[in-house]
Amino acid sequence: MTIYEQLDQMARGGSIALLALWSWILIRDHWRDIPARLAVAMNAAIGCYLIITSGWYDTPNLAGLVFALGAGATPGLFWLFAKAWFNDEREVTPLSALLVAVSVLNTLVVQLTFPTGGIVNLISSTLFRVFMLAFAAAALWEVWRSREGDLVERRRRIRPVLVCVVALYVIVIAFVEVAGPPGLPPGSLKQLVGSLSVFAVFGLFAAMLRMRQADMFGAAPPSTGTPRPVPGVREDPLAARLLQFMAEQMPYRDETLSIARLAGLLGEQEYRLRRTINGQLGFRNFSAFLNSYRLAEVKAALADPAQRDVPIITIALDAGFGSLGPFNRAFREAEGMTPSEFRARTLADSGIG
């Protein structure tokens, strides 16, 4: 074994140890949070990739197949993690889970058909690269579309660098999987890329450790009712003025409202408004802050006997929701039932059939 190979194996072992350490911290402190669970699964998949590209998997065997399936799940799990963490999602949708499961199943087909090749292997290998690129692109889109609404300053600063580097690396891996340049031993380019991934793991771990635990996976504020200052936090005068403005002017009814425009309406600097909504009111995402007001208005309308014949979609649009889909998801997440069920139950409890 050469010195390079020895250093490579040591670095891989150290990376896996760091991933295991971070995973243990997440399990110990944040296991109830969906993003933390996805991060643990993603760490395990990255560990599988580091093992499978170390060069020992030259001949097919059961252990290698298991590690290959784990490595194949990395892009999909990264997408789920990015989507859940940056958007503070509380659940993984069945469709998202199904897409990742299909990609892992396709990886299984790639592995089982690799020794003989043929049309099946060609198709599944092509789909494998398509899945990798699609998941990388989807992760980038999640970061881009929600960047302005992120109220956690450290997470907002780290998201472009973290996700762009990892997504770019996924793209490199996808092209390396096609073939290496002529003259190299089989698998050597893939092993080199795997070696370079050690630095990506160290960078990822270092970036995550720099963040405060509260910034990583802080508890989301209650979705029911209008926002109030977090108990025990020294109140900022801006918080009281913001709450009064939201209650009286109801700017949340404008579905295009951004935090920059809200800051302009208040005559405040955007960074101060971000810190107030996050630090004083406990919201990690601007859309969640707006939706708390929208949901409160919708619930009041659904419980109002005088509006029992008003279509739910009309109530939702008037409150500021842009379409029915996001409204239904936000309402079910907050109340655990559909808007129709909430209206029927509330009116029934008030004695109105």
Could you tell me which residues are beta bridge partners of residue 150? 285
For 46-58, the DSSP string reads HHHHHHHTSS---
For 292-338, the DSSP string reads HHHHHHHHHHHT-GGGTTS-HHHHHHHHT-SSHHHHHHHHHHHHSS-
Distances (CA, A) of 344 to 115, 299, 302, 332, 351: 60, 12, 9, 15, 11
For residue 7, the model assigns a pLDDT of 74
* Cβ pair 109, 351 in contact under 8 A: no
Burial of 325 (0-12, 13-18, 19+ CB in 10 A): exposed
Classify the C-alpha dihedral 97-103-107-113 as positive or negative: positive
Helix, strand, coil % over all residues of the chain, rounded to 5: 75, 0, 25
Whose tokens are 């795997």? That residue is 194
Q: Distance between CA atoms of 94 and 255, rounded to whole angstroms? A: 27
For residue 337, the model assigns a pLDDT of 92
* Cβ pair 211, 155 in contact under 8 A: yes
How would you write the pLDDT of the chain (353 residues) with one tens digit per residue? 677 677 777 878 888 888 898 899 889 988 888 999 999 999 999 889 888 877 666 666 788 889 999 989 998 998 999 899 888 888 898 999 999 999 999 999 988 887 777 888 889 988 988 898 899 888 888 888 888 889 988 888 877 777 667 666 666 666 665 544 444 444 455 555 555 666 666 666 666 666 666 667 766 565 556 677 766 666 778 999 999 999 999 999 999 999 999 999 999 999 999 999 998 998 999 999 999 999 999 999 999 999 999 999 999 999 999 888 889 989 998 888 999 999 999 988 776 65
Q: Is 309 helix (H, G, I), strand (E, B) or coil?
A: coil
Q: For residue 328, how many C-alpha atoms fall within 13 Å in the half-sphere facing its CB?
A: 8
Q: Distance between CA atoms of 107 and 131, rounded to whole angstroms? A: 10
Please state which architecture CATH assigns to domain 3-217: Up-down Bundle (1.20)
Question: Structural domain boundaries of the chain?
Answer: 3-217, 237-349
For residue 182, the model assigns a pLDDT of 41
For residue 220, the model assigns a pLDDT of 59
Please state which architecture CATH assigns to domain 237-349: Orthogonal Bundle (1.10)
Q: Please enumerate in sequence order all residues whose Cβ is within 8 A of that of 89, keeping only pairs 6 or more positions apart, or say none.
A: 34, 35, 83
For residue 167, the model assigns a pLDDT of 64
Burial of 214 (0-12, 13-18, 19+ CB in 10 A): exposed
Closest CA to 86 of 250, 247, 215: 215
- Please work out, in degrees rounded to the nearest 5, the angle formed at the alpha carbon of residue 87 by the alpha carbons of 85 and 91: 75
Please give the structure tokens belonging to residue 282. 């406990």
| Dihedral pair phi/psi, residue 150, rounded to 5° | -75, 120
